Amino acid sequence: LTSLERLFLENNSISDVTPLSNLTSLESLYLSSNNISDVTPLSNLTSLERLFLENNSISDVTPLSNLTSLETLFLSSNNISDVTPLSNLTSLKWLGLGNNSISDLAPLVANTGLGSGDEVDVSNNPLSATSINTHIPALQSRGVEVDFSASKPAVKNKELRMPLRMIEPLGLKKWKVGDKGRLNNF
């Protein structure tokens, strides 16, 4: 088993991944839709290039910080709020972080490996205004495709500044707006 390169274990009600800790030849590991909360036993699987952990109960991704061969990492639908440990995973090409509790994307900007053609999904997260106004445009300027759809900004005041290229056109024809002059103060 130690020479195993791919392992598919989705939808198995797994909560303890300790038995996988010696499978150091693994390149692809599929553990989506289980009951995993602690990924510490995966920290020495440094040959991993693809890791799928969506739909679990993970809150701490620190043990994944030394998996620098990872090109694909899916962590959507967990309980993650801090992505700082992912800042040194410079081989990443695909990063799925949708449906978590992430507000600060600065660690992803610090990840110098994220660049042209890479994709990051941070949809359905309570992103801070700084992440929307500064961090996402910084990633996009490096050629990273960022999906932040349905993310509700955690804005403390009523002002949110977005580059015009990030705002979808607003069609008013269907709204049957009577006095369009009142929209001048909108």
Q: What CATH number did the domain enclosing 34 receive?
A: 3.80.10.10
Complete edge-to-edge strand list for the sheet that includes strand 72-74: 6-8, 28-30, 50-52, 72-74, 94-96, 119-121, 145-147
Q: Is the model more confident about 175 or about 110?
A: 110
Would you state the pLDDT for residue 1? 79
List pLDDT tens digits, range 57-66: 999 999 999 9
| Tally of domains within the chain | 1
Tell me, what's the pLDDT at 155? 52
Is the model's pLDDT at 90 over the cut of 60? yes
Residue 174 maps to a domain: yes
Higher pLDDT, 11 or 172: 11
Q: Are 14 and 53 in contact (CB under 8 A)?
A: no
DSSP summary character for residue 138: H
Give the containing element (helix H, strand E) for 121.
strand 119-121
> Which tokens in the block code for residue 73?
């990492």
- Give the burial string for 127-145 (b: 16+ CB within 10 Å, else e): bbbebbbebbbbbeeeebe
Prediction pTM value: 0.82
Asked if 154 contacts 126 with a C-beta cutoff of 8 angstroms, the reply is yes
- Domain residue limits at 80: 6-185
List pLDDT tens digits, range 107-128. Answer: 999 999 999 999 999 999 999 9
Query: Residue 1 falls within a domain, yes or no?
Result: no
